[in-house]
């Protein structure tokens, strides 16, 4: 499974602690002058365009698994396309930001290094200038859990609302992390989940569209109910009016006017046809206490 994300590439000075971690990955002891370091955001817990989400458990597993993993170009399996290596990761919680489904935003940040060389000169310039930003992680999962029912196998469809709940799938059971890659273009939609800024906006737009469609559905349902109540009112208060004429009048009404019409009909109906209690007093025979039940 390939997961893409638009990364933040942040370059900075190498600390002594970081240099020690880097040298755990190398065979030769490297100095600060020999290496270039940068950080990327590999993945997060936001809903992506395929309506899948890294669970907290998945992010914690990936935090450990990505240490020591290589960074390559375009998910190539050729060794000459290896460009850097991950020496440190951290799962960060941003409590000031919420996900689309209301939880605290979390993301996996990785620190990487590459060697300063003629071969890597253009790569370093591309990273520093922000040319290379889209990051794709390659990993494997054993389970996708439904946000609606909590089951891994169900009939709920990702991207659809069930009541007020949006269906998306939480990725659980990380079995391995293979590599991460800078990609020139976000991965193909059929390759997996894409987490670019554009895709995140598309996801938000889709969610808003679904919510709007749901609201329009409720509005249509409400209008239909009010229409039936208004037709009933016409039949009781103005029985000489044809149903087609009554319906034509109703169709001319906007929501407030239709609501006012229904209220007026129902008030008039309540006066003309008052509801009588089964237990109302029988003035003709007050001594027979159960006369209300006699037919």
Whole-angstrom distance, CA of residue 5 vs CA of residue 266: 58
Contact 194, 187 (CB under 8 A): yes
How many Cα atoms are found within 13 Å in the side-chain-facing hemisphere of 140? 4
pTM for the model: 0.61
Whole-angstrom distance, CA of residue 43 vs CA of residue 71: 14
pLDDT score at 187: 36
Question: Residue 4 pairs with which residues in a beta bridge?
Answer: 136
Contact 138, 179 (CB under 8 A): yes
What averages of pLDDT result for each successive group of 10 residues across the chain (295 residues)?
58 82 93 91 86 93 95 79 91 91 92 92 87 84 93 91 91 90 53 36 60 64 83 88 88 83 84 61 52 52
pLDDT score at 190: 27
Cα–Cα distances in Å, from 205 out to 100, 104, 170, 256, 274?
A: 11, 20, 20, 30, 51
Q: Burial letters for 16-28: b for 16+ Cβ neighbours within 10 Å, e otherwise?
A: eebbebbbebeee
């Amino acid at each position: 499974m390939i997961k893409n994300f638009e990364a933040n590439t942040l370059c900075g000075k190498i600390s002594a602690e970081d240099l020690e971690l880097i040298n755990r990955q190398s065979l030769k002891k490297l100095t600060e002058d020999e290496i270039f370091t940068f950080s990327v955001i590999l993945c997060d817990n936001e809903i992506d365009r395929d309506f899948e989400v890294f669970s907290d458990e998945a992010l914690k597993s990936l935090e450990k698994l990505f240490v020591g993993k290589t960074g390559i170009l375009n998910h190539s399996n050729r060794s000459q396309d290896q460009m850097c290596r991950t020496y440190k990761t951290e799962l960060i919680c941003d409590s000031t930001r919420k996900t689309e489904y209301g939880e605290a935003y979390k993301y996996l940040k990785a620190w990487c290094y590459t060697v300063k060389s003629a071969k890597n000169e253009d790569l370093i310039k591309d990273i520093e200038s922000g040319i290379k930003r889209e990051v794709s992680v390659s990993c494997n999962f054993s389970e996708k859990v439904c946000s609606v029912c909590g089951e891994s196998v169900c009939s709920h469809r990702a991207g659809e609302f069930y009541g007020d709940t949006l269906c998306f799938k939480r990725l659980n059971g990380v079995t391995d992390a293979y590599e991460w890659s800078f990609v020139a273009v976000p991965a193909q939609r059929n390759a997996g989940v894409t987490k670019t800024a554009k895709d995140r906006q598309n996801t938000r737009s889709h969610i808003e569209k679904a919510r709007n469609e749901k609201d329009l559905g409720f509005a249509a349902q409400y209008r239909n109910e009010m229409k039936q109540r208004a037709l009933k009112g016409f039949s009781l208060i103005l029985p000489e009016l044809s149903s087609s004429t009554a319906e034509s009048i109703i169709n001319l009404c906007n929501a407030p006017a239709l609501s006012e019409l229904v209220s007026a009909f129902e008030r008039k109906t309540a006066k003309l046809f008052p509801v009588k209690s089964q237990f109302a007093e029988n003035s003709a025979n007050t001594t027979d206490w159960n006369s209300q039940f006699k037919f």
